[in-house]
Chain A
């Protein structure tokens, strides 16, 4: 009986193999390979739409440090999303004002979480135009901490340390260029 079992088992295998034979004959792709989006919305090919906050920053020669940091912190995909975002964008000069070695240190892979925390402290998920900003207004930022605005004679300052020097609209929000890096409050 054992032998029969073995033979019948073999037969079953043969049946399966027989029925499946033509499965192996293809390998040819039938689809259009021309554009294969990989990654997030930042990879979408689109020369018609207005630029999003990332593309605006990429287009600014004064924000190369910020752009490099956004890439290192893997925030490009998020900021290419529908938003809406308010981004406080420190200039290269603002980063240069930090103690020597700070930026280089944050750009190390083992400091990614710290870098993300700092950069997310510069982003609010909402559209805040300067004309709607109020003196003393508190805004919750993406990292979970708050910033406080001061508005004096039309000049907007963040946390009393960074001045909004210009504002640039983007397709998915607004960028306020600031002259100092915002540092999240120390954890209790």
Chain B
């Protein structure tokens, strides 16, 4: 009996365990979709460095963040278009001009896209550019200091979305306007005169080869449509730029419906070499505009804002063979060129296919005038003539495509929440993986260059429901890291991001880390308010202003006792950090200031403006834990009533106990 029971039970148990086994190993949800060796692939041991820097747009945070890949560790948040009280960016007198625009001081923007500088279509690790969407601007960040070095405003533009993509040798970054707007003198027009009065522009912003300094070289006037994304050609197509555009219906209301009427919108092909020639040949018209150009000087540690008043505009009517439209299905979003420069991938948000265009065929069609009519006088190339082929039924809602080093493309699908890997030549789908959830942009290290590093792919997702511990109605948006070294993509890691990540780029660490600056040399400090040593520390009255020329070094301020300020006066603390030691900033804050702190790098001078509103003694202190005696790094400033006769005095260091009011100071000269 016993034996037979066992015999009967055994198959049942076996079946049960078989079921458990299947349940146990089958990917049920996101957690179990991760392969067993994922942790070891993203583990970067303490003291070891990540292999790649990942520069990630912060979206509506207005900033750019830097992560290590494969660990997903946040290394830095770089303030770009938004004020950052943590670093005093936009609060210190020196940094305020960086955020100046033709609309005055704008403390926020929406940073969507990243463009790392390139030489011969490969990352060179010098600068990273970011776009300001709302008040059209482009910023350049210096990768020696990881600081915003320059911001240029774009006139005749609104919603600078199609930006800041970059040409093969960083000759230009571009700025295509999302919104078409009234251009020229007639600004006050009825909105429903869109079709006659609204125009688009794409701007080419020159980048100086050595300094990186930007200037708006020329703008191309376009029909009144919406520009979305863009990519430069590479290699054979390097002289061309491709811009996706939608709303060829020219709707000015309810675009959700009205801009989705037509079967096809366009990718606009710009022969920028030709445009450059036209600009040089004087074919453009200088138009009166107003835009700010802000630069940060590493020697004066100060930003300067210059208001510019002219821009060169090229009208395609006067410049034949400069731009062409290429039909692309259903409101194209992504517009990406493959590493060879031969293929241009359009991603129609509402399309059921991914069209892949051939640069060779585009050139042949142009040469043969193989047109399908024109759009606002601009030739439209015949779809069938320029098409390499279509990826059929790849997924729902294609958005963006990146490339690896093996001829494969990776396209994100927002609606079906997945990434699809396909071969650029054969157009065959190779693999697909889910994302969690609703993916936007993708980044492969070196993905937009001639030489991608086909090891990782990072997906930036819009929705994070249930992925992390809940934190109320809003959750941190996420990035997901995939291993793409094999045939199949493998999910390795989730990591949270700041703001909303849109486009991102990743670059080998070796291209940047060797150039990273450690200090600002004190002998090169040319800030006019610097005190280059304790003996230069002083307090001066200039009319209604009190200027405190203060020094900070472990672990004191000089001066640290100030008296004689009167209510109604404005105090400027010019604080020079005398340290010459890597990673030893000093902070500065004063009680009650309607302002942020200063965070002053070694060798740098920064200024905090303070308008006292009360009589009293106000403490000030170092906010960045600098040393064992950080907590001792403090001082006082006394504010007296407007009519008081307290003389202006300042001092530091008084070992003897205070006896009377005035005799106890060591005067600084």
Contact = CB atoms under 8 A, between A and B. Distances in A.
A171 interface: yes
A131 B40 CA distance: 57
23 contacts: A1-B6, A7-B13, A18-B25, A19-B21, A23-B36, A25-B37, A30-B41, A31-B70, A32-B509, A35-B49, A36-B47, A46-B518, A49-B518, A49-B580, A49-B582, A50-B580, A82-B554, A125-B628, A126-B629, A127-B554, A127-B629, A134-B655, A171-B584
Given A19-B21, A44-B582, A82-B584, 17 more contacts: A4-B13, A7-B13, A11-B13, A15-B24, A22-B36, A30-B42, A31-B48, A31-B50, A32-B48, A33-B48, A36-B47, A46-B518, A48-B517, A125-B628, A126-B629, A172-B554, A172-B581
A143 B387 CA distance: 80
B6 A4 contact: yes
A113 B142 CA distance: 49
B249 interface: no
A156 to B, nearest CB: 14
Interface string A47-84: 01110100000000000000000000000000001111
A187 interface: no
Interface residues of A, number: 45
Contacts of A50: 580-581
A161 to B, nearest CB: 23
A84 B629 contact: yes
B196 to A, nearest CB: 58
The 10 closest A-B pairs by CB, nearest first: A50-B580, A171-B581, A84-B554, A23-B36, A48-B518, A26-B37, A32-B49, A11-B17, A22-B36, A82-B627
A137 interface: yes
A90 interface: no
A37 interface: yes
A137 B554 contact: no
A31 B13 contact: no
Contacts of B595: none
Contacts of B24: 15, 19
A34 B602 CA distance: 27
Interface in B484-539: 509-510, 517-519
B366 interface: no
Interface bin, chain B: 35 or more
B578 to A, nearest CB: 10
Given A19-B25, A82-B628, A31 B555 contact: no
B554 A22 contact: no
Contacts of A26: 37, 40-41
Interface of B: 6, 9-10, 13-14, 17, 20-21, 24-25, 35-37, 40-42, 44-45, 47-51, 70, 509-510, 517-519, 553-556, 579-582, 584, 602, 626-629, 653, 655
A34 B49 contact: yes
Interface string A7-26: 11001101100111111011
Contacts of B584: 82, 171
Contacts of B13: 4, 7-8, 11
A27 B344 CA distance: 39
B37 A38 contact: no
In terms of DSSP, what is the predominant structure of the interface of chain B?
loop
A54 to B, nearest CB: 13
Contacts of A12: 17
Interface in A159-184: 171-173
Contact of B627 (A7, A35, A49, A83): A83
Interface string A121-142: 0000111000010100100000
Contacts of A19: 21, 24-25, 36
Interface of A: 1, 3-4, 7-8, 11-12, 14-15, 18-23, 25-26, 30-38, 44, 46, 48-50, 52, 81-84, 125-127, 132, 134, 137, 171-173
Contacts of A35: 49
A125 B70 contact: no
A37 B48 CA distance: 8
A82 B51 CA distance: 29
B10 A4 contact: yes
Nearest to A35: B49
A26 to B, nearest CB: 4
Contacts of B627: 82-84, 172
Nearest to B47: A37
A7 B554 contact: no
Nearest to B39: A23
Contacts of B10: 4, 7
Nearest to A125: B628
B44 A31 contact: yes
B35 A22 contact: yes
A132 B668 CA distance: 13
A87 to B, nearest CB: 14
B509 to A, nearest CB: 6
Contacts of B20: 15
Contacts of A18: 21, 25
Given A22-B35, A31-B49, A48 B519 contact: yes
A22 B581 CA distance: 47
A161 B101 CA distance: 66
Contacts of A38: 47
Contacts of B70: 30-31
Contacts of A83: 554, 627-628
A125 B554 CA distance: 11
B14 A11 contact: yes
B401 to A, nearest CB: 25
B17 A8 contact: yes
Contacts of A33: 48
A26 B69 CA distance: 18
A181 B45 CA distance: 43
A22 B37 contact: yes
